[in-house]
Amino acid sequence: MKHIFIINPKAGQGVGELFSEEIEQVCREEKVPYEVYYTQYPGHGEVLAKELGAKGEAARLYACGGDGTLSEVANGILNYPHLELACIPKGTGNDFVRNFPRDFHCIRSQIWGESRAIDLIAYDTGGKKRVFVNMCNIGFDNNVVATTLLLKKKPLIYGTMAYGLSIFIEWIKKRKIILWISRSLEDKEKKSLLMLTVSNGKYCGGGLKGMPHASPWNHQLDVCEIKDISRWTFFKLFPKYVKGLHTEEKKLASVLSYYQQQTLDIESEESDIFFAVDGEIEKAKKIQFKLLSEKIKFSLPQAETSK
- Residue 136, CB-side half-sphere exposure with 13 Å CA sphere: 26
Asked whether 97 and 71 are in contact (CB, 8 A), the reply is no
- pLDDT of res. 307: 40
pLDDT in tens, 6-24: 999 988 766 767 889 999 9
pLDDT (average), residues 187-210: 93
CATH 2.60.200.40 boundaries in the chain? 129-291
Residue 306 has pLDDT above 50, yes or no: no
- Ranges in the chain annotated CATH 3.40.50.10330: 2-119+295-306
| CATH fold group of domain 129-291 | Tumour Suppressor Smad4 (2.60.200)
For residue 303, pLDDT over 60 is answered with yes
Q: Which amino acid is present at 274?
A: F
Q: CA angle, corner 102, sides to 157 and 245, nearest 5? A: 65
pLDDT band at 170 (very low <50, low <70, confident <90, very high): confident
Q: What's this model's pTM, rounded to 2 decimal places?
A: 0.90
* Angle, alpha carbons 61-64-67 (nearest 5°): 100
**What is the overall mean pLDDT for the chain?**
91
pLDDT of residue 13: 63
What residues contact 291, with CB distance under 8 A and at least 6 apart? Answer: 119, 120, 121, 122, 219, 220, 221, 262, 263
Class of domain 2-119+295-306: alpha beta
44-48, 115-119, 162-166, 167-171 — which is least confidently predicted?
162-166
CA dist., res. 296 & res. 115, Å (int): 9
Indicate the pLDDT class of residue 159, thresholds 50, 70 and 90.
low
Contact 221, 260 (CB under 8 A): yes
